[in-house]
Amino acid sequence: MDKTVLITGAGQRIGAQTARSLHRIGYRIAVHYNTSDTQSNALVASLNAERNDSAFAIQCDLSTATFADDLIAAVNDYWGRLDLLVNNASIYEPSALNIGDVDAWDRIISTNLRAPYLLSIGSIPMLREANGAIINLTDIYAMRPQLGHAVYCASKAGLAGLTKALALDLAPHIRVNGVAPGPIMWAAGDDPDHRLEVMQKTPLGRLGATTDIADAVCYLASAPYVTGQIIEVDGGRSIFI
C-alpha cells in the first residue's frame, strides 16, 4: 500500500496514536508538529524502524501565512501524492469572558478552524487526484458546549459545520468526515470535581483510549460510501441528559 496521510499535531496524544494506527494498516505518515520536536522525531524513528522510509516529520506553525503551502509542498516533494488529510491539531483552553481576550480568540480560531480550512482547500488538487479523504477532529462540545470554554466550543462548532459543508462541495471525488472525541484524556490542570462530574455523565463510566479515536479515523479512511458524517466517540457522554 502506497497511500499517504498528513496528520497535523501528530507528535503526541491522539495525533501520535492516529499515526501509529494508520501506519499499521499501511499508510505512509507525514507527521506535522509545531513545538513537540522530541516526541515527533521519536515517533518517526519508531515508524521507520517498523517499515523503512514510511514516515517523516514536518515542523510548521499553523498560524503563519504560508503554512498550508509549506505542508502540502513538503508532502508533494517527499512522496508526490496525498490520499488522506487528518486535521487533528487543536488548542484547548478556557475563555476569560470578563476581559474579551481577542488574542485568545485569534489563537484558538486560527489553529482549530482557520488552519483546517486552509489546509483542506490547499490539499484539494492532490486529494482529488487520489480520490482521497479529509477527516477533522471535532469535539462533542461542538454541539453541547462546555462551561467556561466559549471560544474553544465555537471553534469546534465551526469545524463541524465546515466538515459537512466541504463534504457537499468536494463530492464525489473527496470524502470529508469528522470524529468527535468525548472524555479520552484529561487536560492538564483539570479540576478533580470536573473530572468526577464528567465520569458521572458518561454512560460507560470510564475514559476512552486514544486508540478508540484512532480506530474511528481508520474506519472513515477506508469507508468509501461515507461522507459528511461526524462520529461521536465518547462513551455515550453526548446522549446524557
Taking the C-alpha atoms of residue 18 and residue 15, their distance in angstroms, rounded to an integer, is 5
CB neighbour list of residue 119: distance below 8 Å, 6 or more residues apart: 6, 8, 67, 68, 71, 72, 85, 87
Please tell me which residue in 33, 141, 152, 225 is annotated as part of the active site. 152
Q: In what order do the strands lie in the sheet with 84-87?
A: 55-59, 28-33, 4-7, 84-87, 133-137, 175-181, 230-233
Contact call for residues 165 and 117 (beta carbons, < 8 A)? no
92, with CB counted inside 10 A (0-12, 13-18, 19+), is middle
Q: Are 236 and 201 in contact (CB under 8 A)?
A: no
- Copy the grid coordinates of residue 35: 513545538
| 152 classed as catalytic | yes
Catalytic residues: 152
